[in-house]
């Protein structure tokens, strides 16, 4: 063509006709890139949701343990005294875990968050066991 003017969508930059095969290939590549982009976006979103759920479970476990420790503190202190108080130790551990979470929670992996939650659950189980032992020890007195 004279002056290098080509009809749009039908010719390349140097005015040669675009082959049908090339158009199909370009369309396939475009669809592949679009699919890949959507897949990556969904994966990032899903990871963020899993992380958010892990953080929520961890905080719920910490709150439950803290509530249980507060409720049990006076009962255990009445039996065990101030010197041998597992509640105080558990409360201190809870504070350490909350401080760690505050400092490192945003960068922590899902595995690290799950590990901290598991340790909180284990501490709550330990306190429950000690409370059960106290209850059994007090039962004959009533």
What's the pLDDT score for residue 1? Answer: 42
Residue 68, token pair as written in the block? 């249980």
Q: What is the mean pLDDT of residues 104-128?
A: 85
Closest by Cα among 9, 125, 113, 103 to 54: 113
Over residues 15-53, the pLDDT tens digits come to 666 577 777 788 888 888 888 888 888 888 887 788 888
**pTM, two decimal places:** 0.56
- % of the chain with per-residue pLDDT over 90: 0
Over residues 46-76, the pLDDT tens digits come to 877 888 888 888 888 888 888 888 877 777 6
CA–CA dist 67, 71 (Å, integer)? 6
CA–CA dist 68, 74 (Å, integer)? 11
How far is residue 61 CA from its own chain's centroid?
A: 13
All structural domains of the chain with their residue ranges: 51-141
Q: What is the mean pLDDT of residues 112-134?
A: 84
């Amino acid at each position: 063509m004279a002056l290098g003017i080509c009809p749009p969508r039908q010719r390349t930059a140097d005015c040669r006709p675009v082959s049908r095969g090339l158009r199909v290939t370009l369309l396939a590549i475009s669809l592949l890139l679009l699919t890949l982009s959507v897949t990556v976006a969904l994966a990032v979103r899903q990871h963020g949701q899993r992380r958010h759920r892990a953080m929520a479970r961890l905080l719920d476990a910490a709150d439950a343990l803290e509530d249980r420790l507060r409720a049990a503190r006076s009962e255990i202190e009445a039996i065990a005294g101030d010197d041998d108080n597992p509640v105080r130790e558990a409360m201190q551990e809870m504070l350490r875990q909350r401080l760690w979470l505050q400092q490192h929670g945003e960068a922590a992996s899902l595995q690290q968050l799950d590990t901290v939650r598991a340790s909180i659950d284990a501490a709550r189980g330990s306190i429950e066991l000690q409370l059960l032992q106290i209850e059994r020890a007090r039962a004959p007195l009533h």
